[in-house]
Amino acid sequence: MSAPREVGRLRERASVRREDLDAVLDAALVGTLSTVVDGEPWVVPLLYARDGDRIILHGSTGAGALRHVAAGAPAALSVVHLDAVVVAHNTFDTSMNYRSAVVYGTLRPITDAAAKRAALTLVSEAVLPGREAEVEPMTSKQLAATGVTEMAIREGEWVVKSRTGGPGEPDVPTDAWTGVVPLRTVADEPVAEARSAGQAVPASVRERVRRGASAV
């Protein structure tokens, strides 16, 4: 659960490598967006996609998520993947393997129709890769009804932490079993609506099954 000993500290580490940030962000579809409203935290889970040095946030329904958030609001997008329960010889050294990222920045609504359409395509491709080519394009009305916000990824304005490996050597003689219980998110076989029963599962859906809950 905690690991203030040296061996624990070495296994739990922050990274300043940008590729590590990208890998954590790209391994998820949904993050937790936190901002500040009237001095208090305000939080909502959102679909997102990373596009180079920016994060595109899908605004959900018109009445929804980001109506509280003004342009320029300070915000943080947080993502965490649980990889294992790390079973030590005592509860003190028991821990989790994980990969987490928090990106700090400011929110900017995307209002230009072409930029909005391009941004939504990136979110759509993260959720169902290749789906846009399989279906009718989004109408102007649908585009207008969808909120899209972006946040730049700025140098030094993010935190990536992870823990990997086993529990380390016990500090006292013990017969306790030690090891790890790996955790992972999987996609099951697609379930067709009644109207699509017997129809071939499209490539976009097969690709989503292959990727599980990862954007890439």
Q: Which of 15, 20, 100, 118 binds its own copies (CB under 8 A)?
A: 100
- Told to check if 59 binds its own copies by CB under 8 A, we report yes
List of residues 6+ apart from 44 with CB closer than 8 A: 32, 33, 65, 66
Residue of 85, 60, 57, 88 whose CA lies nearest to 71: 57
- The first and second tokens of residue 69, run together, are 């958030």
Of 22, 51, 96, 152, which one interacts with its own copies (CB under 8 A)? 96
Selected range binding its own copies among 17-25, 108-116, 170-178, rule: CB under 8 A? 170-178
User: How many CB atoms within 10 Å of residue 170?
Assistant: 14
Half-sphere exposure (Cβ direction) of 88: Cα atoms closer than 13 Å:
21
CA dihedral sign, ordered 173, 174, 175, 177 = negative
CB of 112 to its own copies, least distance (A): 18
Closest contact distance (angstroms) between CB of 205 and its own copies is: 6
Residues 117 to 146 in contact with its own copies, rule: CB under 8 A: 120, 123-124, 127-128, 131-132, 134-136, 138-139, 142, 145-146
Counting contacts by CB under 8 A, is residue 16 touching its own copies? Answer: no
Q: What mask, x for binding its own copies by CB under 8 A, covers residues 71 to 90? A: ---xxx-x-x-x--x-x-xx
